Amino acid sequence: MASQGMHSPVEQFEIKPLIELSAAGFDVSFTNSSLFMLLAILVSGVFLMTAMRQGELVPGRMQGAAEMMYEFVADMVRSNVGSEGRAYFPFIFTLFVFLLFGNMLGLIPYSYTFTSQIVVTFFMAAFVFVGVTLIALFKHGLHFFSFFVPAGAPKVLIPFLIVIEVISYFVRPVSLSVRLFANMLAGHTMLKVFAGLAVMISGAGGLAMAGSLLPFLALIGLTGLEVLVAALQAYVFTILTCMYLNDALHLH
């Protein structure tokens, strides 16, 4: 069947080099994944700059949307990190825009979803994790380790609680990256499965053609759901980053 043009639902995640490159013994080819990372940044940058070009006092629709995105992230940083988060706002904003546009562009047929790559999401999560840990160490020094001792716990329980706290701290990059990766992977696989099913049933011909309507309708609903998931997961990744940053700056 696969040879007759039917694709595996995970084939969409394959990395295809577009420009072969290598550096220091590593394959650093510019791939479809890289292309969509670049597109996410370019599209968001061009959109935001075009929308803000006039900088009107009374914003139009485009400018309103751009300002809404800015205010959305600014509010998120302000309410979750406080005034000290100001310095990190550009990073948080870039993160949100990068993920949002990456997820959204990935929903366009024949495009590529780089957030469905565990290595990408894990590297981002690890960067956030290492970053906030370093910020915490620089800001609080050794006092940072009091973060792992819950306040007001009975003395007997403290050793166990420290173990739990340390584990939960180090699991953060894993949960952060896997949440985004798994949502994208599952969503896009499901879309492909239903699309493949519709094509397969319609291929049977005759009365079976009508039956292909069912997975097709399901596909429409799922696409709507995936738009929601795309926006939601970008938001979740960003707000969790804000929370980790807040923990680093304020130690609870």
Residue 69 phi, psi (nearest 5): -60, -45
Report the residue number, 99 or 136, with the smaller CB distance to another protein. Answer: 99
CB 206, min distance to another protein, A:
20
The interaxial angle of helices 61-80 and 213-250, nearest 10 deg, is 50
CB 112, min distance to another protein, A:
11
Segment (H or E) for 211 = helix 208-211
Tokens standing for residue 53: 């070009």
Report the residue number, 33 or 80, with the smaller CB distance to another protein. Answer: 33
Residue 55 phi, psi (nearest 5): 60, 45
CA atoms within 13 A on the CB side of 193: 8
CB 220, min distance to another protein, A:
19
Per CB under 8 A, residues contacting another protein are 1-2, 6, 8-11, 13-15, 17, 21, 23, 26-31, 33-34, 37-38, 40-41, 44-45, 48-49, 52, 55-57, 63, 66-67, 70-71, 89-91, 93-94, 97-98, 114, 116-120, 123-124, 168, 171, 174-175, 178-179, 181-183, 185-186, 189-190, 193, 196
Report the residue number, 119 or 143, with the smaller CB distance to another protein. Answer: 119
Report the residue number, 105 or 185, with the smaller CB distance to another protein. Answer: 185
The three state secondary structure string of 142-159 is HHHHHHHCCCCCCHHHHH
Q: Are 230 and 104 in contact (CB under 8 A)?
A: yes
